[in-house]
Chains A and B, each alone.
Chain A
Amino acid sequence: MTTTFTDETRERARDIIARYPADRSRSALLPLLHLVQAEEGYVSPAGVAFCAEVLGLNKAQVGAVATFYTMYKRKPTGDFLVSVCTNTMCNVLGGQEVYDTLAEHLGVGHDETTADGTITLEHAECLAACDYGPVMTVNYDFFDGVDASTAVGVVDELRAGGRPMPTRGARLCTLKEMAVQLAGFADERDGAVADGGPGEPTLRGLRLAQQHGVSVPGFDPNTPIRSKAEADKAAAEAKAKAEAAKPAPVEASAAPVKGSDGASAPTGAAAVAEPAKPAGATEPAKPADATGSTTRDVKAPDDKSPQVRTAETRQPDAGTAAPDASGTKVPTDATGTAPEAGDARAAEAAGVAANPPAGDGKPAGDEAGAQERNLTEAKAGTDADGAGPADANETGAQK
């Protein structure tokens, strides 16, 4: 299918694809979707077809991605996208009132465009400028500390053909021009990069420090970077010192009691959450304040709040059993023997080989030859260790 896109857009598409490794051109999809918006103002069916064509994907694959992201618009937009933050902070500071006033003034709702095609209005989630709240953006450049009347002033000026200057950021361009930048191209307007100095809230802490002559002492940019040999030597000395200072060895007990934590041996997930502390570095855990878990039917295995415990479980570190993380200790099972690390790795390697681009849940075989390669690699896996080839065949070979 041929599309209407200009030669310039095609040239830019080639530039975008060239930014990514040769066999990973799909990475160019997000910038390409911005690019088609630059020509049409939204991601049209033709735009989807264009992306599919230049990346060798099918339209369903492109459409699935285009519909996932808020910034890809699915119907024609105005020249100026006015986004009002109505997330909690801006909301309570007056952002909701700004949005409601604009909606009434313009006679459009969320994600709708005025009849003259000038303005598309939307309420946005947090725009990462809470210290300037309530904020709104026009084509993503900031108007800070707005209230209903200043916001109406801005949109009226836009509709009258004016270009009000954002509080921070560069002078306004149209949404289509902005989409070119989002596709990863430099702002070509003379001096636009220099526009917009930092606002006062950004500088407040720094100004205080400057006014009162506060700086961080002891900064010497010539501090040497220690080499490994030096570090090892220092560590050995420190260890010897610690050994000498230690009264009597208390550890060496293999019992799974957690030192002074006082926590009874917890169940799997909780054990993962508590990193194993090196002996000697343990300190008496102070009983945390009772934070009163509000969930009633789950008994906390330790004093931590459920949120904290869950967060720790999601972020395993060196003490956590993660077979693929080098340097981690693999837990022993009840009989005291550690599972062969090789078993898991071989099985995993076979699985990864069968799904090269993104191991989980992604359709394999997006690229030419992938299917054949999967089969070959899965077969090689069989020869190596016999683990997992059946699985690899099932997931890797698409019927």
Chain B
Amino acid sequence: MTTPRPETLAKLTPVLTKRWLSPDAWRIGTYEQLDGYAALRKALKAHPDDLIQLIKDSGLRGRGGAGFPTGLKWGFIPQGDGKPHYLVVNADEGEPGTCKDLPLMTHDPHALVEGVIIASYAIRAARAYIYIRGEAVHAARRLRNAVQEAYDKGYLGRNILRSGYDLELVVHSGAGAYICGEETALLDSLEGFRGQPRLRPPFPATHGLYASPTVVNNVGTIASVPPIVLGGADWWKSMGTEKSSGPMIYSLSGRVVNPGQYECSMGVTLRELLELAGGMQPGHNLRFWTPGGSSTPLLAAEHLDVPLDFEGVAAAGSILGTTATQIFSDQDCPVYATYRWLEFYHHESCGKCTPCREGNYWMVRVYRRILAGQGTHEDLDTLLDTCDNILGRSFCGLGDGATSSVTSSLQYFKQDYLDYIEGRTAPKLSEKTLVGAH
């Protein structure tokens, strides 16, 4: 493996990941020796409004996919309204390709707990919840342990560090529904209902959990708070680009030599990430990739130099999402990849709105037909037409996301579809799987 060039190595910014190499960082004693809970002590001496301003100044944007300015979100919480406020951490990581929050919670759970306490103090919440994906059992094990340790040490509970501030934190396991990563569906699920999205407005900022003002933030967002409190907004902005500040954990998977987590300055390119990851596997050439999970439109080899920040990826026609770069080669079929993603959206559609529920159901069937060598040219029009009726017309972003890979694969790889339809590619699915599909 060739060593990456120094200028590429300089893109690495270990901030959120920096403690992962310490095998015991999940224990409170080790965490405290590694800057742990220093940010909390500092934050509790500051006025909550100053903390909100600090986060605004840092330019921190949500790490869950949408990139909403975090300070602004906190600032939306009405103060002095007499209602209880809530902080809810979205740890329902499940976007295909995304695998950054689980390692963070497994290897550095106190970073999240400390961030939760600071953020709750800033928005004046007395209760916080971490809604963790049900399947993430080891991360939950470590997180529950961390929360208990924090209670025992007086970082949680009544009169935290004698500041007069009280906070209760509950780790709440989900039960296997991707839709609960959508913030309003998550709130419904946390209230004990089916996880289905709510109409917005009203937004969670005023009518969130239990119809009270609520901030919903991703794990990476909240874990970014302690380093910002310690190092300051200017230091944070020394990483990343003007409008996308800070470091970001890029998750590389697929046909690369060394898949894994690479925390880099925002705006790094795929070419640089590939260099860090040792390049493509021998015999594989980059063909298509997702910049941020399966809900973001596919990009192709021509996008190697697109800066992977919120603006750069949007200008290339896709979305930064969760920076889950799934990398596929010339030995992978974009039609089949899209079909498998659609199976996922079909399975995970909550059923609340018709475009998403029915659209994904039928698109899966069209794909099966194409992949079985029985597709027609009209099928491609049908797919685009269906996407047109889902995108922007479904109740939440799940439906939108489902269309991403369909429209983008048809944009870049239409020939692959035609090859199935016109019989140049051997059918990938057998007739057997088509029973009942027509």
Contacts and interface: CB of A to CB of B under 8 A. Distances in A.
A208 B9 contact: yes
A36 to B, nearest CB: 12
A294 B145 CA distance: 49
Interface string A188-227: 0000110011101111111111101011111111011111
Contact of B138 (A196, A200, A225): A196
Given A205-B12, A228-B53, A306-B391, A140 B99 contact: no
B294 to A, nearest CB: 7
B173 A362 contact: no
Contacts of A186: 141, 144-145, 148
Secondary structure call for the B interface: mixed
Contacts of B252: 131
A292 B231 contact: no
Contact of A322 (B94, B203, B350, B397): B203
B404 interface: yes
Contacts of B148: 186
Interface string A263-295: 000000100000000000000001011011011
B14 A359 contact: no
Secondary structure call for the A interface: loop
Given A130-B324, A184-B173, A324 B205 contact: yes
Contacts of A361: 196, 198
A196 B296 CA distance: 32
Interface residues of A, number: 125
Interface string A78-108: 0000010011110111000000000000000
A37 B75 CA distance: 41
B344 A19 contact: no
Contacts, number: 396
Interface residues of B, number: 149
B138 A169 contact: yes
B206 interface: yes
Nearest to A234: B57
A74 B287 CA distance: 42
Given A128-B99, A205-B276, A169 B137 contact: yes
A141 B136 contact: no
Contact of A202 (B20, B137, B140): B20
A218 to B, nearest CB: 5
A322 B408 CA distance: 31
A125 B345 CA distance: 10
Contacts of A249: none
Contacts of B391: 295, 306-307, 310
Nearest to B256: A131
A178 interface: yes
A170 B51 contact: no
Interface stretch (A20-28, A112-120, A154-162): A20-28
B207 A315 contact: no
A64 interface: yes
B426 interface: no
Given A125-B348, A214-B12, A294-B411, A225 B97 contact: no
B170 to A, nearest CB: 5
A297 B171 CA distance: 47
A313 B397 CA distance: 10
B54 A359 contact: no
Nearest to B170: A19
Contacts of B387: 294-295
Contacts of A165: none
Interface in A108-148: 124-133, 137, 139-142
A275 B15 CA distance: 31
B434 interface: no
Given A89-B254, A184-B172, A307-B319, 18 more contacts: A24-B210, A31-B172, A55-B192, A129-B102, A130-B253, A182-B173, A198-B106, A206-B18, A210-B21, A214-B12, A221-B38, A223-B234, A269-B392, A288-B314, A294-B410, A305-B317, A327-B75, A361-B196
List the 9 closest pairs (A to B, CB-CB), nearest first.
A291-B317, A223-B232, A205-B262, A204-B260, A201-B260, A70-B176, A69-B175, A130-B253, A26-B192
